[in-house]
Structure 1
Amino acid sequence: MFKKPLADVKTSAPLRSSDRRKLRTRILQTYPVLQPEDGDALVPDGLQSQKFSTHLDDPGVVYLSPAGDPLWFTLGKGSEELIPTVYTLWKRPDLLPFLSTPAPVVPKLIGGADLMIPGVIQHSPSLVPEQLVSITQYHRDALGPPLAVGRMAVSSDTLRSADETDVKGKAVYVLHTWKDALWDMGPSKKADPPAPRPVQAASEGEEQLQPSGSADSEQDGKTGEAASPSAPDIASDVVPAAAGDGTAAPDENGPPSATLTPEDVSDCLRSALLQAIGMSLDGVPPSTFPISASTFWSSYVLPARPAQALTASGLIDASAVDVKHSTFKNVKSFLKASAKEGLLKLKETKGDVVVTAVYPKHPAVAAKRPHRTIGELEAKAKKAESREQQEKEAEEKRKGEIQVAELWLPLGTTVPLFVAAEKDTSDMYTIADIKTILNDYVTARRLINANDPQYINVGSDQPLAIAVSVKGEDTPDFMKRDEVLKRVRAHMQTWHEIRVEGRDVVRKKGEIKPISVVVKIRQGRKACTLVTGYEPFGLQADDLAEELRKMCASSTAVSPVHGKPNSLEVMVQGKQIKSVTDLLMARGVPKKWIQAEDQSNKKK
């Protein structure tokens, strides 16, 4: 929303005391997590208001601190919804429910992109579409500061089901981010984000954080905002924090964190073992066993630890759970106790133990309710980072690639159709543009056949009938949609456009054809590879010949194409289709614009 500078900024004016009090009351009513004393910090004396328009001409009002930092804003004509800025959220991170996303996604958000569903790692529960939320960078052991404010595009149910159903699309419509044009209005724009904060215990009645894709459906219908004003809400304020001794690190600015007792650690490990037996090890072939204790522990038990554990002290991050801080003290004792319970079978060899079998049918395993695991959470984060990296690499590749576009200009019998559709007849259109224009035209004029939606009543609309008519043939009363599109395009003038980074755009009349790479037999038995049609892509014959000579270690030659004195043919000795194709793609030619054929084996 604010990725570009504001279009129309009025002079700021001090807010009257009565208006400031009304604004303060509205904010306290809108955000119940705030206490009356918070109002003076977030709606201070000396508050100023300033009207603006975005680069999209959306009107709004921003409320500035006495120093000039934007604290609140509204968007839309007549809107009274007060939206906190990132400046305000750094003061009260628990003001809004949150979603966390991997570090590679943050620059894209700052660049103006919305947050996509695959990029969500954790989120507050009970989110609903259109709800205001903050976006933080994901940290395994802490919660980063809010870096963006947006509006939910989907519900938390959709986010929780994303892993199972591979849901795509937008999760949050981003309104404002750190470092955007609204942020840059303030004198504090060079300030660095606060450090990530460790986890804190949830107060009674507060909601619990949900990793994206969690199967937990026991929600109480809350909005995701804090129910208790006395302590930050775990749902909108905390990502799991880890400490080496199984104790959550205390927040320097808040009350001590909840701790894991040895009994809590033992419960977490037992829950992880039950999940591993019931889900990861159920149905594995007998050849999987025996498994050494260390492998069993690192590959199955530790990844199955719950992402969050609810203890008597509060909600705890289980990623730091260590058997040394349990009642068992070591892995061997834990496994022996589990074997005594009948969950698995052990064999002792040379002072160590190996797991020879597990029992998924054990009543404790059957009764275990699946939980979201540390392994799943880390895999999701890794997957999201990998996807972002692939997108980044693809974007870099596209930057150096030659962009080829096929265009069509309204001409002759198609001009009346574009005039009737209120489109510029001097513009050139892609096939997608023509299809959209045609569909909109047919819908607006109600030309879809009532008996069969695949057909269009072309005979009842004169501009369309003229556009699809063929000389010497009677125009039918109705025609299939694909045929209408085909005829309209055939009656337009063909053009093409080529864009190469660092060069002027080339737009020429006529259809562009792929580069031809053909292997032929010449002089009896000798095979050679001939390359033609590369000129429209900005490639030079001599350059190609020299590069192919070095690449293929073969002789090359350049000669005029028979019957086309303005075109040159590059010849390289041998069957070199792959080498030529690789070179052309390295020079930016998309693979779809390279047509290769081996004619050397064809009978004469």
Structure 2
Amino acid sequence: MFKKPVNDWKTSSPLRSSDRKKLRLKIASSYSIDTAEADVLVPEGILSVKFKSYLNEPGVAYLAPDGDRDPLWFSLGKGSDAQREDALLIPTIYTLWKMPKLLPSLSTPKAVIPIISGGADLMIPGVIHCPPSLNEGQLVSICKYERVDIDGAPTPMLSVPLAVGRMAVGSDQLQDSSQEKGKAVLVLHTWKDHLWELGSKKDVPPSEPIKTEDGAEENEDNTNSKAEEEVEDKSNSEMPANLEPVLPEVKTPTYTPDEVSQLLHMSLVQAITQSLSSLPASAFPIPATIFYTNHILPNRPHFPELVLHPSSPHEPPTADSPSTDSPSPDPSSITIKTSSHKSLTAFLKHAEKSGLISTKAPQKHSTQTDMLVTAVNAAHRDVETHHSFATIGEIEAKAARKAAREEDEKKQRAAANLEIDVQELWKPHLDSVELFEAMGESISKQYTAQEVRSLLNSYFATHQLVNPHDQAYIALDQALTACVIPKPKSKKKSPAEEAPLDQAKVEFMKRDELLKKVLNSMQNWYQVKNGDMGDEVALKKGKLAPIQVVMKMRQGRKASTLITGFEPFNIVAEDLSEDLRKLCAGATSIAPIPGKPANSGMEVLVQGKQSKSVVNYLVGKGVPEKWIEVQDATKGKKK
């Protein structure tokens, strides 16, 4: 569906609060999740945009409100707007990475994934795992199956969803050994297709080992290895015919309603311990829905089996040796709907009866229909004896901080690659030539200030020029004197007038002052290198001046910003003018610098006081801030 670029994208716009609520409720109903989970998948400020596919089929996409604008949902066909009852909302890969279990999933060998991403459908022989009771036309996700050596043992691994599609046949037909050809899934959207490319292009989350019942993993070894070898020998979308597709279903332990209620009670106690007890009295009352969403749900245990093991024949796991017989229970399944209370009001009344909280019913004629939580009891016995556990909120916050750090590091690396490297150089010239010849160094080479300093220090040590009483002072020999002591400018002066100069011979000079004078006697050069230019750098003669950003008043009353000296930094006047016109939303113009000779550079004028925007633009182009000078001539001040 998105193997080719999408046509005719319309302008995106935020959904109204009422439309977002309808969208959230529809997703919660369609995918059997609670509204809290749906709220994560339909964030505040979500955008909608209409489009047409390359086949000219209309559709609607829903984008995340942040800067990445990740596509989260889409629907296809006429009347695909989510407000229609019959419109089907399809999750994107970005959404499935947030909630991998939103759709039932099939798995296929690693070699098949590039074929699917290229626009092919998943064929029946390419299916390895398939859950039972799937119907034709049902939405499913597709994951990558591969074997990875872990500690010397080949371990089957399953990725997060990498494709979304509709079942072309039911799962009973997939299990039928007579079905050797044909399509299993009609693929609608894949990782790396043009819809996915619209987003932030995040890295694929790591794969996880497949955990099955005893013996299942051993039985799948030969089948899967043989399947992968056969698939890799094929380059077209028709998969090998002798692959046995389906493995035993992986059973995930679940909690009973009473156990879910117990876990929610523990979550409430955890919330009181961690945050609610420290809230000021003015923070109460809290509406029941907000209390549940902001305090109880984030404090659910992330590893519930370590807090309360579900009813099963297996031995309870410990933190040191967690159970490997079966997958861990899904912590997101711990909700009011799956508890014995069935409603939030019943749960809160039970908590009030046990003495944990105090509540108040909404006023009879108030617009507020939620029960209100008026206080919490931090002195309750359950709170005082509570042992804290890792919560969903803590793990998600930790993951978010890690993702933010990685994003910052990525931006810093990108900025480092983009930043222009400016290097000032000096070349022996006139009076300094004799000194460099005395040091045995090339007089045709350009040197950095640090290199000149190192050469001088070596020269001082070799010729024993350092003052033994004060090492900050250097004795001047003939080569140093000729370089740093200025010669008489005129030969017309009488011997009497020149005598004082001969008598005032300088014998010693401070080390730093001497370096400065040596550099002043050399010829200035510079090189400017963009981060993506590699080692090919053009040297230019002359002293590099900072870019001048000057704000002036025109005609006595109109402010304008003038930018000059940007050419050495590989910035073109026309591009600068056009970009600033859009960025500053004001008129711009280009002209030769007034009062300067021809070919001295151009001056870009921007209407208004725009120094901050100009500096941000130049820094974004990689110009180091120390090479930008800002002057406010409207007040006669410098910044």
What's the TM-score bracket when you normalise by the shorter of the two chains?
0.3 to 0.5
TM-score scaled by structure 2? 0.43
TM-score scaled by structure 1? 0.45
